[in-house]
A and B are shown apart, each in its own frame.
Chain A
Amino acid sequence: MKNTLRQVFHSGKFVAGFSIFVFILLMMIIYPLINPGNPLERIGVGTFAKPGTYVSLYDSVSSDRETLRLADADENRIKSMMSMEDRVSMVAWFTAMDISVEGVDMNDTDALLTMWRENYDEKARPAGMTKAQRNFYVRLNNSITSANTAEVLSVTETNSATGEVVDKGKIDKTDYVNVGDVANVKTLPLGTDNFGRDVLKELVSACGTSIWIGFIAGIVATLIGLLLGLLAGYLGGIVDDIIMFVTNIFTVIPSFVLLILITYSLGQDQRGATTVAVVIGLTSWVWTTRSVRSQVISLRNRDHVNLSKLSGHSLMRIVMTDILPYIASYVVMAFILQVSSGILAEAQLSLLGLGPKTTEVPTLGLMMNWAMLYSAHLNGSWWAYFPVILTIAGISFSMNLMNTGLDQVFNPTLRD
């Protein structure tokens, strides 16, 4: 036993898969300690806030200020103000005025601004440009020039009782606050989702739920498969015929269709994470049964089993001590694959809207379902679905890697 374990941990593939899996598990345990709270809490009002650090504007006004005179402050301000559309419009104006735009780089803000300041003339009337379009350029020019003109912003407070507006202070362009001094700063490494939830927190919690679903599905499928396979293989005869008849029926019905029908008929209210896991397990035992049966058939006529019979051991004892240990490594491998396919099955079901009910727990599949329903893939909110896909891939990859590693250890023909 010890020897087998040592061998298993000498297999590079198994160790790689195991490390990835342990890393994911550790994240699941450690992250909620760092960032506690309900993963389904809606912290944002809008949808799909970008990943990054959010600083409270309200608190930063009253924070201690330092005056910093930075040379490129003005430039940066204009740069962040000018959107890509503005830049395209500026180039369009040059073209309309027959000014050569050859060699102009739209990302080179300095060059573009210099060119704009040199050439723009409010009174010019480019050919074929409407009044409305000319007004747009006037506004654009004003915003570019005024970005640096207003020296001071004033902050006012509206008295809610009297409606009186009280001047609370001024903000200079050279005023800076230390992020550490601001009372409320929130870092959202993966932004928020369509409901305004912290995606990372949700992802970690979903990862746990999905692995739980995978394990329950794997245990259910492996237990059923093992029991039926052992019975069919060891007893043979009519028992074998009946079990194989049922197994064959389940083999020819696509299990995913069965899964959809069962979960659909359960109804939204009945579908907790564990229920869905059990249903997934109930539809995926077929291959375990078939392979366990064939292994048992090859084992049951071995001499050590005959000898055990001659020693008067009971059927239960023969199965548990003379057959099960011989197929244990195989069953462990089948179990790992069942867990991995259980996680994928949950993701598939949830993507179809047939996953666990949406109010209690996030799962990886549900997160993808929400992202899809709110068109995250169309509006560029990659953070709502891409990390989820990566996590699912990571879990499946680690498990398949472990499985291949185990296969190499237990199957001598694959050893190199």
Chain B
Amino acid sequence: MSSENKKLDTRPLCLSGKGVTKVFGTGNKANVAVDHVDFEFHEGEFVSIVGESGSGKTTLSKMLLGLLNVTEGQIDFQGKPRDISSRSKKNEYWKGIQAIFQDPFSSFNVFHKIDAVLLDCIAMRGGRNLPKEEKIRLMTEACSFVNLKYAELTNKYPFELSGGQMQRLMIARIFLLKPKILLADEPTSMIDACSRATILDMLLQLRDEVGMTVIFITHDIGLAYYISDSVYIMEHGKFVERGTADDVILRPQAEYTKRLINDVPKIYEAWDLSTVG
């Protein structure tokens, strides 16, 4: 285990932050959503950020994506301070980091056909002027990666698909874009259990085949343990515990982590956590 830990640490840093803080509002009404958090995500790492609702997970993920401004602190991208001061720099940054959101039903513009979504990704990768056959080949490839058939999807609108299919289409989008970092904000919480396993599998596959860093945000600590290399536990805007998945889950230090583990439903109770704690 310690050897695995060392191996992870030697990988180059992909995204790291120091003292990252987000405060909403000012004065008396100031609300600290994320409070001086530090993190280091390595290339090819599968990281989970676990916390309950309102702990600041989504705010942190929006800051990582550059959709929200950082009140304080610094985020480094690939070893250099992240610069998203202008539109073109933001676009450049977004080629390196992409996201899958929680609710697949609200992730698509309902007025656009599925082809438009995928073509958009090809264009973003500089494939705007590719011949039509090549574009279709790329889209077919992306669809088959997520077990969808392009021929069945073409000319359809997103709302004609099921939630699981839509979320898989989101992954197809990531497959086309091949970013350095994928930020998955509770991608499986609104999906049925069956699709959930396939989607998690696809995320792992993306990590292994493309070498993507996956930042997986969830409230389900069991799920985090199941798939992650390292886990960050977040409470009230702070990381109360961080480490490899085995360290955090099997030898929790923080009270909050213990409580989270105890809250996990029956199926995990087979592990006798009291003895390892």
Contacts and interface: CB of A to CB of B under 8 A. Distances in A.
B91 A312 contact: yes
A318 to B, nearest CB: 10
Given A311-B124, A321-B112, A302 B94 contact: no
Interface of B: 62, 65, 67, 87, 90-91, 94-95, 98-99, 101-103, 106-112, 120-121, 124
A303 B111 contact: no
Nearest to A306: B67
Most B-side CB within 10 Å, residue of A303, A321, A325: A303
Contact of B67 (A309, A312, A321): A309
Contacts of B95: 312
Contacts of B109: 304, 308, 321-322, 325
A322 B111 CA distance: 8
A307 B120 CA distance: 11
A312 B90 CA distance: 8
A185 B109 CA distance: 65
B94 A310 contact: yes
Interface in A319-337: 321-322, 325-326
Contact of B111 (A306, A309, A314, A321): A321
Given A312-B94, A321-B109, A325-B111, A306 B120 contact: no
A310 B98 contact: yes
A306 B109 CA distance: 11
Given A303-B101, A306-B99, 10 more contacts: A302-B106, A304-B108, A307-B107, A309-B67, A310-B65, A311-B120, A311-B124, A312-B94, A321-B112, A325-B111
Interface residues of A, number: 15
A238 to B, nearest CB: 14
Given A306-B67, A306-B99, A321-B111, A311 B121 contact: yes
Nearest to B99: A310
A302 B106 CA distance: 7
6 smallest beta-carbon distances between A and B, as pairs: A303-B101, A312-B91, A303-B107, A325-B111, A303-B106, A304-B109
A335 to B, nearest CB: 19
A307 B94 CA distance: 10
A41 B159 CA distance: 60
A327 to B, nearest CB: 12
Given A302-B106, A321-B109, A321-B112, A312 B124 contact: yes
Contacts of A304: 106-110
A326 B109 CA distance: 9
A5 to B, nearest CB: 15
B90 to A, nearest CB: 8
Contacts of B99: 306-307, 310
A228 to B, nearest CB: 23
22 contacts: A303-B102, A303-B103, A304-B106, A304-B107, A304-B109, A306-B65, A306-B99, A306-B101, A307-B99, A307-B101, A307-B107, A307-B108, A308-B109, A309-B94, A310-B65, A310-B94, A310-B98, A311-B121, A312-B124, A321-B112, A325-B109, A326-B111
Contacts of B65: 306, 310
A313 to B, nearest CB: 8
Contacts of A312: 90-91, 94-95, 124
Contacts of B121: 311
Contacts of B67: 306, 309-310
Nearest to B185: A303
A310 B109 CA distance: 14
Contacts of A308: 109
A304 B124 CA distance: 17
Which of A304, A309, A326 is the most central at the interface, judged by chain B CB atoms within 10 Å of its CB? A304
Nearest to B62: A306
B64 to A, nearest CB: 12
Nearest to A312: B91
A309 B94 CA distance: 9
Contacts of A322: 109
Contacts of A321: 109, 111-112
A303 B98 CA distance: 13
Contacts of A325: 109, 111
A347 to B, nearest CB: 38
A68 B101 CA distance: 93
